[in-house]
C-alpha cells in the first residue's frame, strides 16, 4: 500500500513550487486534486493522484524574480549577523548593472521573500543568487541538487616548495569532512597560484577547509559560475536579473 504524502510536499517533489508556496496556494483555493479544490492545509494525497493549479498561481509565480549579484567581501549571504550587512541590501536601483539586458523594472515588492539560494562566506566574493521563486531555490540548494558551482581560489602553499600531485588528487577525491567522504570534485591549476574548484556540494567553508587539509592557505575566493549561469562581466557590488531564457 502506497503511503499518502502531505499535498505541499508532493507539489514540491513534482517541481510545481516550494512547500511554502504550496501552502499559500492551498489556503487560497488554487490547488485541485483529481479536479476537486483542496483548501485545507496539511491535506494528504496518494502519489498517483493528479494535482493541478489554477492560472492565478502560475501568474503569480511568473512575477517572482531571481537576482544575480556579484557579492563583495564584508557582506553576509543571508540574515544580518554580528553587525554585518546582508547582500540583499545592495539590491537597489542605483546598484543595478547598467548593461543588464533584462526588460524587468525594479520595484520594492521584489525585495519581499527574496532569499539567498546558497551561501557565500563573508570573506568570499562572486556570484550569489537571491530568488523569490521556490522552484529555483529547491533546484540550487535542495538535497538532490545536481547543479555544480565553480570557484577560482588564490592559494599559498604553507609547507615550502610546491603542492604535491598526490595532494591535488586528494582535493579531487579522497578527503573527508564532518565524518563523511566528500563527493568527487574537479580541482585543477589555473596558473601557478590559482586553483579552479568545481563542486556539487557546499558544506560550510568547504573549500577553505579542503585547502587547509593539504597545507594550502586561501588568499582569495570567488564564485564564477552556478550551473550554466556565469558571473561574466557583472561588476563587484552590482546586480542583474536572471533572464527569462537563462537556466541553471
Reported in sequence order, the residue ranges of the chain that DSSP labels E, i.e. its strands, are: 5-6, 31-33, 36-37, 44-45, 51-53, 66-71, 75-76, 85-86, 115-116, 125-131, 149-157, 176-177, 180-181, 186-191, 194-199, 216-226, 229-230, 239-241
Query: Does the active-site annotation cover 121?
Result: yes
Pick the catalytic residue from 23, 121, 133, 167. Answer: 121
Name the strand (E) or helix (H) holding 172: helix 165-172
Backbone angles phi, psi at 219, to 5 degrees: -95, -35
Under 8 Å between Cβ of 64 and 135: no
Q: Give the whole-angstrom CA distance, residue 127 versus residue 229.
A: 9
**Cell numbers for 190:** 589555473
Positive or negative torsion for Cα 17, 20, 25, 29: positive
Name the strand (E) or helix (H) holding 191: strand 186-191
Query: Which residues does the annotation mark as catalytic?
Result: 121
Amino acid at each position: 500500500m502506497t503511503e499518502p504524502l502531505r499535498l505541499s510536499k508532493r507539489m514540491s517533489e513534482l517541481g510545481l513550487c516550494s512547500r511554502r508556496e504550496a501552502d499559500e496556494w492551498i489556503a487560497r483555493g488554487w490547488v485541485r486534486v483529481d479536479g476537486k479544490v483542496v483548501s485545507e492545509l496539511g491535506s494528504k494525497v496518494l502519489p498517483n493522484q493528479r494535482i493541478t493549479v489554477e492560472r492565478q498561481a502560475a501568474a503569480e509565480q511568473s512575477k517572482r524574480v531571481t537576482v544575480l549579484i556579484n557579492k563583495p567581501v564584508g557582506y553576509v549571504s543571508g540574515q544580518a549577523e554580528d553587525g554585518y550587512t546582508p547582500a540583499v541590501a545592495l539590491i537597489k536601483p542605483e546598484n543595478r548593472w547598467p548593461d543588464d539586458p533584462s526588460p524587468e523594472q525594479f520595484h520594492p515588492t521584489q525585495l519581499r521573500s527574496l532569499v539567498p539560494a546558497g551561501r557565500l562566506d563573508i570573506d568570499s566574493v562572486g556570484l550569489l543568487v537571491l530568488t523569490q521563486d521556490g522552484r529555483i531555490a529547491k533546484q540550487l540548494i535542495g538535497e538532490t541538487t545536481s547543479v555544480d558551482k565553480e570557484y577560482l581560489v588564490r592559494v599559498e602553499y604553507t609547507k615550502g616548495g610546491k603542492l604535491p600531485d598526490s595532494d591535488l588528487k586528494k582535493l579531487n577525491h579522497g578527503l573527508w569532512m564532518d565524518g563523511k567522504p566528500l563527493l568527487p570534485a574537479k580541482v585543477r591549476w589555473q596558473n601557478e597560484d590559482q586553483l579552479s574548484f568545481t563542486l556539487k556540494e557546499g558544506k560550510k567553508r568547504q573549500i577553505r577547509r579542503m585547502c587547509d587539509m593539504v597545507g594550502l592557505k586561501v588568499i582569495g575566493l570567488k564564485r564564477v559560475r552556478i550551473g550554466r549561469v556565469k558571473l561574466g562581466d557583472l561588476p563587484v557590488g552590482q546586480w542583474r536579473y536572471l533572464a527569462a531564457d537563462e537556466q541553471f
